[in-house]
Amino acid sequence: MKYHKDTMEIIFFARGGQGAKTAAEIIAQAAVLEGNFVQTFPNFGPERSGAPTKTYLRISDKAIRTKEPVVDPDVVVVLDDTLLSSQKVTEGLDRNEALIINSAKSPHEIRDLIRFDGKIHAVDANGISMAIVGQPRPNTVILGKIIKVTEVVKLKSILEEFRKIFEEKIGKENCEKNILAIERAYDAI
């Protein structure tokens, strides 16, 4: 996917506790490793487990100064397809821009639900995560898909960053399983 502005702007829709912030920070950190400028922040509020959340991510080759929330995203990531009924996830997206969604539904089924003309990339991140890791970890698994679609950073940088953060926390074996799941999401059509 090509940038059509100076800065790639992404909005993550999720529920409190699903780890959208962690996902955005992993991409941000990988982008910094590659020498880019980043900014990520949640739509500030008292976070409640399960309540809808929005997280913003900007990546650019120039310093990012603005503090405004993202209003014209290039890509929207949805971590939970039950949000489609209550959140206007495609607001600000045009037909050349993309929606990436964690869902077992097909892009066709999702299109029927939200009437959106742009590209829809559905990936069953929960399914992949359950099959490989044995736990639902859609937030990191979906990173594979985000990177495949947006090309904002290399898959290698994401995996390097993931190892740095999680190897100590969850152990080498578990970490490698998660990485396999990210790669699977990257390759999923």
Partner 1 sequence: MLIKDKKKLALTGGYAAAYALKQIEPDVMPIYPITPQTPIIETYAKFVADGEVETEMIEVESEHSAMSAAIGASAAGARTATATSSQGLAYMHEMLYIASGMRLPILMVVAARALSAPLSIHGDHSDVMGSRDAGWVQIFCENPQEVYDKTIIGMKLAERVGLPVMVIMDGFNTSHSVENLEILDAKIVKKFVGEYAPEKSLLDIENPVTYGPVALQESYFEFKIDQEVAMATVAEEYKKIAKEYAEISGRKYALFEEYDLEGAEKVLVLIGSVAGTAKDAIDVLRKKDQKVGLLKIELFRPFLFSEIAIALKNAKEIIVMDRAQSIGSHPPLYSEIMVSLQNASNTKVSSIVYGLGGRDVFKKQIEQILEGRFREKYLS
- Please state the closest distance from residue 85 (CB atom) to partner 1, in A: 25
Only segment of 67-75, 91-99, 114-122, 142-150 that touches partner 1 (CB under 8 A) = 67-75
- Please state the closest distance from residue 81 (CB atom) to partner 1, in A: 27
Nearest alpha carbon to residue 80 among 139, 158, 145: 139
Q: Based on the shown chain and the rule CB under 8 A, indicate whether residue 85 belongs to the binding site for partner 1.
A: no
Q: Is 50 left (phi over 0), alpha (psi -120 to 50) or beta?
A: left
Q: Are 52 and 83 in contact (CB under 8 A)?
A: yes
**Residue for token pair 């097909």:** 106
Structure-block tokens of residue 47: 């976070």
Q: Based on the shown chain and the rule CB under 8 A, indicate whether residue 37 belongs to the binding site for partner 1.
A: yes
Q: Based on the shown chain and the rule CB under 8 A, indicate whether residue 98 belongs to the binding site for partner 1.
A: no
Which residue, 1 or 64, is less far from partner 1 as judged by CB?
64
Cα–Cα distance, 101 to 124 (Å, whole number): 8
Which parts of this chain interact with partner 1 (CB under 8 A)? 24-25, 28-29, 31-33, 35, 37-42, 44, 46, 63-69, 71, 164-165
